[in-house]
Amino acid sequence: MSPSGQDNKKQTAAGRDPVSGHVEADVAIIGHAASFAPGASVLWHRHSRGQLALTLARVMRVETLDKVWLVPRGSVLWLPAETPHRSLAPEQRLMRSLYVRPDSAESLPTAPTAVEQGTPLADMVTWLAETYDSDRLDKAWSTVAGAALALVRPGPGVSIRLPQPADPALAVIADAVLADPSAEISLEDWAERFGMAARTLRRRVQAETGLSYRDWRRILGLTVAAERLLAGGRVTDVAFETGYAGTSAFVAAFRAAFQVTPGEFQRRAAGR
C-alpha cells in the first residue's frame, strides 16, 4: 500500500473505519479502544478525523511521511485528519484513541505532534476511549472530552526526521533495515538484487534522502535502537542487536545522531 492511504479511505458517515474499527457517528469526538497482536503492522492509511493516539504497550513506532515517531507507554501522539501514517509495536498493542472531527480540532496543531507529558491527558484519553457510547454521551463525558483537547500542547516527544522514500526499491531497503538492522547488506548487493547499476542506486538514495547510503542505513538502524531502548532494552544488548561490534561505538553513534547518550535518552523518555 502506498503512503497516500487511498486504499483505506473507503469510509462513510455511518460506516466503520477500516483500520481502527471505530464506528462513525454525528458527534465531535469519538472514543475508541483497540488491541493488535504482537508484531502486527498497521499499513499506510489515514483517517478523516484527527487522532489522539495513546499506547499502553511499552513502545509503538508510528511513521509519517517525513518522520518516525517513537511513542512510549502513556504518551500521546496527535495526528491531524488525513495524515498518512503506519505503525508497528513489537508486543501486543493496546490503543486508546480519540478521533476528533476537523471542525472541532481547529485549536489543535496542524502537523503531527508529540503531546506534552506530565498532565492528566493520558488518563483522560483512556477513560474517554473505554467509556465512549455514541448513544449515551452525558455531560460528564463531553466535559472531560473538551478538557482533554484543551490539554493538547506540543511536547519534546521522541521523533527522528526520516523521510519515507517514494522509490519502491528504496522502500524495500528501508523496511529490510528496520526489520533487521544487524544484517550487513551493501549498496552493491542491493543494486544486484534490483538489477541496476550501483551508481544508479547510490544517486537515488542521495536524491531522496539527502544522505549517503551508509549514513541513511545508520540512521535507520539507530531508529530501531531507540525503539528498543524505549522498550527497556539494555544498552549493551541493543548495541549488538543493531549491528555494532561494541558498546562504545554504539554510544558514540547514538550521541552523534541524538545529542544524548543511550542512557540519557532512556531517562528523558521516562521523565526522569
Q: Is the pTM of this model over 0.85?
A: no
CA distance 243 to 225: 10
Cell of 183: 544484517
User: Would you say 72 and 158 are in contact if contact means Cβ atoms under 8 Å apart?
Assistant: yes
Q: Is the pLDDT of residue 10 over 50?
A: no
- Rounded mean pLDDT of 157-177? 87
Chain-centroid distance of CA 141 in Å reads 28
Q: Is the pLDDT of residue 7 over 70?
A: no
pLDDT at 39: 65
pLDDT grade for 116, boundaries at 50, 70 and 90: confident
pLDDT at 14: 53
Map grid coordinates 511513542 to a residue: 71
Q: Please state, rounded to an integer, the average pLDDT across all residues of the chain.
A: 87
pLDDT at 155: 83
Helices vs. strands in the chain: H and E counts, helices first: 9, 10
Neighbours of 248 (CB within 10 A): 10
User: Would you say 126 and 54 are in contact if contact means Cβ atoms under 8 Å apart?
Assistant: yes
The winner for highest mean pLDDT among 81-90, 213-222, 259-268 is 213-222
pLDDT per position as a tens digit, 249-258: 999 999 988 8
Q: Is the pLDDT of residue 231 over 90?
A: no
Cell of 55: 499506547
CA distance 140 to 4: 37
Q: Is the pLDDT of residue 206 over 90?
A: yes
